[in-house]
Amino acid sequence: MKKLAFIAGTIALLTSCAIVNPGEVGVRQTLGKLHGNPSSEGVMVINPFVTQVVKVKTSTVNREVRLNLPSKEGLNVKAEISILYHVQSDKIIPILQEVGRDYERILILSTFRSSSADVCAKFYAKDMHSGKRGEIEQAIKKLMMERLDGRGIVIEGIMLKSIALPGRLYQAIEEKLRAEQEAQQMQFVLDREKKEAERKQIEAEGIKKAQQILREGITKENIEWKSLEVFKDLSQSPNTKIIITDGTTPMIIDSKVKE
Among 23-27, 197-201, 228-232, 240-244, the range scoring the smallest mean pLDDT is 240-244
CA–CA gap between residue 181 and residue 126 (Å, rounded)? 18
Q: What angle do CA 98, 139, 167 make, to 5 degrees?
A: 110
Nearest CA to 47 out of 38, 58, 35 is that of 35
Nearest CA to 133 out of 104, 99, 158, 108 is that of 158
CA–CA gap between residue 210 and residue 201 (Å, rounded)? 14
In SS3 terms, 180-194 reads as: HHHHHHHHHHHHHHH
Looking at the DSSP bridge assignments, the partners of residue 56 are 25
pLDDT for the residue 14: 47
CA–CA gap between residue 161 and residue 217 (Å, rounded)? 77
Mean of pLDDT values over 187-211: 81
Segment 78-134, tens digit of pLDDT: 889 999 999 998 898 899 889 988 999 999 999 999 999 999 999 988 888 777 888
Backbone angles phi and psi of 244, in degrees to 5: -110, 130
Q: Is the pTM of this model over 0.85?
A: no
91 neighbors 25 (Cβ within 8 angstroms)? no
Percentage, residues of the chain above pLDDT 70: 70
Looking at the DSSP bridge assignments, the partners of residue 243 are 252
Segment 153-194, tens digit of pLDDT: 999 999 998 887 766 665 665 666 667 777 777 887 888 888
CA–CA gap between residue 158 and residue 161 (Å, rounded)? 9
Residue 164 vs residues 63, 124, 145, 159, 160: alpha-carbon distances, Å: 19, 13, 26, 15, 11
Mean pLDDT over all residues of the chain? 78
CA–CA gap between residue 76 and residue 154 (Å, rounded)? 29
Backbone angles phi and psi of 154, in degrees to 5: -110, 120
Give alpha helix (H) positions in 121-219. 133-147, 167-217
71 neighbors 128 (Cβ within 8 angstroms)? yes
The amino acid sitting at 49 is F
pLDDT for the residue 226: 66
